[in-house]
Structure 1
Amino acid sequence: MASITLQNIVKEYDDGYPAVNNVSLEIEDGEFVILVGPSGCGKSTLLRMVAGLEDITSGELLIDGERSNEKQPRERNLAMVFQNYALYPHLTVYENIAFPMRLTKGKFSDDEVDERVRRAASMLELEDHLERKPGNLSGGQRQRVAMGRAIVREANAFLFDEPLSNLDAKLRGQMRAEISQLQRRLGTTSLYVTHDQTEAMTLGDRVAVLKKGELQQVASPRELYEQPANLFVAGFIGAPSMNFVPGTVEGTTLRTPLGDIELPEQTAQAGQGHDIVLAGIRPEFFEDAATLEELHLSRGSTFRAELSHTEWLGNEQYVYVTYENDPRVAETLQNLAEEMDTDELRSQLVVAVDTSSRLRGGDEAELWVDSRRIHLFDPATGENLTRDAEAGAELTRIAKEDRRRDAERAAQG
């Protein structure tokens, strides 16, 4: 295992375009770090520079403290798992897994090869498929074979390049769990690229969010979700996305197209002096006021709204409210949509309500919002005006402590 350190890494192509721009990132020994962002943000380019498949224009790459910019890929002892599996169709599963050891020309005896292949196959539940060819396997089984090939190398680190993007949604969920459990068991340093923020949130010890080649925030999934640094991180992380509602702070009142929302004093102070702010409110911060007790209602603010439609999904329910957007933030929201690789951010509030709620489209309802959890953003800069950096750092510290306990349990069992 090894630590991986990126110091002011830049990748500039011949036309001068910086695909990766001044990225610094420290990946600890045994840590699972996710690179996430929309298409074209530079995450795969960054991974390929770590692997040695792309040259580094400037900056330093350290693997276990040793400068590795000029090292050949084979000298870095990193195992890469590709999106397309990169299996040899004419070889059996056994020989595909054994292939990295065969390349070392006599370094491993036949008994050592057999022992490692069968151990990896056991971890990945492939024992019954060792004599089959990749063409006769499912997508999930092929991905496990690719992972087996990485395991037998006993590499310093695993590099994953969107390994689940070719699988259907149900299989992706299953493979996410398998990769997470495997990484915990092996304790191998891992760098994982994905555009799927669900993968990022469920797999990573820490997540690095990229936009147009620049690092926006590096933190535990929970810190990203609860204390995002800016509009982009807030909008990209979470599904459904955070609502961004234009408003003006007057005293402790946030005046919005939906009505007035009373803010905690500290939140209101952060919005003072701004002609307009964007209130970031996640769907689950709302509720149907009719379903709440008086004590709960007093912990937030209520407003009345006409619902456009509802979606009942069994385990969750969403209601939608359309409103008139403020032209002063229209360009900011359009730019944000383009950065997030989305067609547009509609002037529509998404509200998560209890599945027992009987609200329907066309109803006028009283909605409750937990005003203590509202973030205010500056539309001009995208900065989160209400971010509590100290509280966010504590969330990441707790996540790190949880990872340490996971590693200790895995080592014992």
Structure 2
Amino acid sequence: MASITLNHLVKKYGDGFPAVNDVSLDIADGEFIILVGPSGCGKSTLLRMIVGLEDITSGDLLINGERVNDKAPRDRNLAMVFQNYALYPHLTVFENIAFPLRLAKGKYTDEQVNKLVNDAAATLELTEHLDRKPANLSGGQRQRVAMGRAIVRQADAFLFDEPLSNLDAKLRGQMRSEISQMQRRLGTTSVYVTHDQTEAMTLGDRVAVLKKGILQQVASPRELYEQPINLFVAGFIGSPSMNFLPATVDGNVLRTAVGDITIPQDKASKATGKNIVLVGLRPEFFEDAKFVDEAKLHHGSTFTAPISHTEWLGNEQYGYIPFHPDPEVKELLDNLARDMDADELRPQIVVTIDAASRIRGGRDAELWLDTRKVHLFDPETGENLTRDAEAGAELTEEANAARAEEIAMAHENDKVGSGN
């Protein structure tokens, strides 16, 4: 296992454009870190710089404290799992997994190869498929073979480059769980690239969000979700995305296109001197006012807004509130959409309401908003004016402690299972 340190890494191509721009990141021994961002943000380039497939223009890359900028990929002892599996079609599953061991000629006896391959196969539930060829396997099984090949190398770290993007939604969910459990059992440092935020939020100890080659924020998934540092992180993390609603601040009242919203004074004070703010509202901050009990009502603000349509999902439903931004704000939303690799950010608010609610499209609805959770953003800089850095750090510390406990329990269960 290994710690990986990135000190001011820069990657420039022939045109001088920095695909990776001054990225610094400390990855602890045994940590599972996710690199996430829209297409072209530099996440795959950064991964390839770590493994040695891309030259480093400037900065230092250290593995276990040793500078490895000039080391060849084979000398870094890192195992990479690719998006397209990179399996040899003419070899059996056994020989595909054993391939890196065969390459190290004379280093492993046949007995050692058999043990390492069979142990990896058992970990990944591939034992009964060892004699089959890749063409006869499902997509999920092929991805497991690729992971098995990484495991047998006994590498210091695993590097995953969008390994699940070729799988259907159901298989992706299954493989997410398998990768997470495998990483807990093995405790191997892992760096995982994805554009799928569900993978980012469910897999990683910490998530590093990139935009145009620049690192925006590194934190636990929960800190990113609850205490985003800026508009981009807030909009990119979460599904459905955070709503952004332009508002003017009048005392502790937000004057918005869908009505007046009263917020706590401590939040309102953070916007002092700002003519316009963007209010960040996650869909789950809302509820049908009829479903909010008295004890909870005083923690929020109730307002009436027109619902264009609703979507019933069984366990909950979404309501959509259109609004009309002025041209300046619309341009800001369009620019943010481009940054997030989206076609546009529609001028509407998505609200999550109880599945039993009778709110319907084409009517005004009385909604309750939990104003304790509202974020205010500076539309010029994108800064989250109401971010509580201390509360965010506590969330990441809690996540780290919980993860350490999970890993310890996984190791204990393995011992019990093996009879040791």
TM-score class normalised by the smaller sequence: over 0.9
Give the corresponding residue for 1:306.
Answer: 306
How far apart, CA to CA, are the structure 2 residues paired with 1:310 and 1:89?
Answer: 49
1:328 offset after TM fit, Å? 2.7
SS in 1 for 2:107: coil
How far apart, CA to CA, are the structure 1 residues paired with 2:315 and 2:168?
Answer: 21
- Residue by residue over 1:363-408, the C-alpha shift from the partner in whole angstroms, topping out at 9 and shown as x without a partner, is 2110000011000000000000000000000101111111211222
What is the identity, as a one-letter code, of the residue corresponding to 1:59? G
Give the corresponding residue for 2:297.
Answer: 297
How far apart, CA to CA, are the structure 2 residues paired with 1:381 and 1:305?
Answer: 29
- 1:138-153 equivalences under 5 Å are 138-153=138-153
1:292 offset after TM fit, Å? 1.6
How far apart, CA to CA, are the structure 1 residues paired with 2:101 and 2:328?
Answer: 61
Over 2 Å off, 4+ runs: 410-413
SS in 1 for 2:228: coil
SS in 1 for 2:249: strand
How far apart, CA to CA, are the structure 2 residues paired with 1:67 and 1:403?
Answer: 29
How far apart, CA to CA, are the structure 1 residues paired with 2:408 and 2:167?
Answer: 32
Q: TM-score, normalised by structure 2?
A: 0.98
Give the corresponding residue for 2:196.
Answer: 196
Q: Which segment is superposed worse, 319-328 or 368-377?
A: 319-328
Give the corresponding residue for 1:183.
Answer: 183
- Residue identity (%): 72
Q: How well do the aligned residues superpose, as a CA RMSD in angstroms?
A: 0.7
- Residue by residue over 1:176-223, the C-alpha shift from the partner in whole angstroms, topping out at 9 and shown as x without a partner, is 000000000000000000000110000000000000000000000000
How far apart, CA to CA, are the structure 2 residues paired with 1:390 and 1:299?
Answer: 22
Structure 1 stretches lacking a partner, 5+ long: none
Give the corresponding residue for 2:156.
Answer: 156
What is the identity, as a one-letter code, of the residue corresponding to 1:121? A
Give the corresponding residue for 1:266.
Answer: 266
- Residue by residue over 1:255-303, the C-alpha shift from the partner in whole angstroms, topping out at 9 and shown as x without a partner, is 1001000010110001121010000000000000012222222210011
Give the corresponding residue for 1:367.
Answer: 367
Tell whether 2:360 aligns with 1:376. no
1:313 offset after TM fit, Å? 1.0
Equivalenced residues, count: 413
Give the corresponding residue for 2:403.
Answer: 403
Structure 2 stretches lacking a partner, 5+ long: 414-420
Give the corresponding residue for 1:213.
Answer: 213
How far apart, CA to CA, are the structure 2 residues paired with 1:327 and 1:166?
Answer: 40
What is the identity, as a one-letter code, of the residue corresponding to 1:308? S
Give the corresponding residue for 1:5.
Answer: 5
How far apart, CA to CA, are the structure 1 residues paired with 2:394 and 2:326?
Answer: 36
1:411 offset after TM fit, Å? 2.5
Give the corresponding residue for 2:122.
Answer: 122
1:67 offset after TM fit, Å? 0.2
1:326 offset after TM fit, Å? 2.7
How far apart, CA to CA, are the structure 1 residues paired with 2:235 and 2:302?
Answer: 24
Tell whether 2:341 aligns with 1:341. yes
- 1:66-85 equivalences under 5 Å are 66-85=66-85
SS in 2 for 1:225: helix
How far apart, CA to CA, are the structure 1 residues paired with 2:353 and 2:136?
Answer: 45
SS in 2 for 1:271: coil
How far apart, CA to CA, are the structure 1 residues paired with 2:92 and 2:316?
Answer: 44
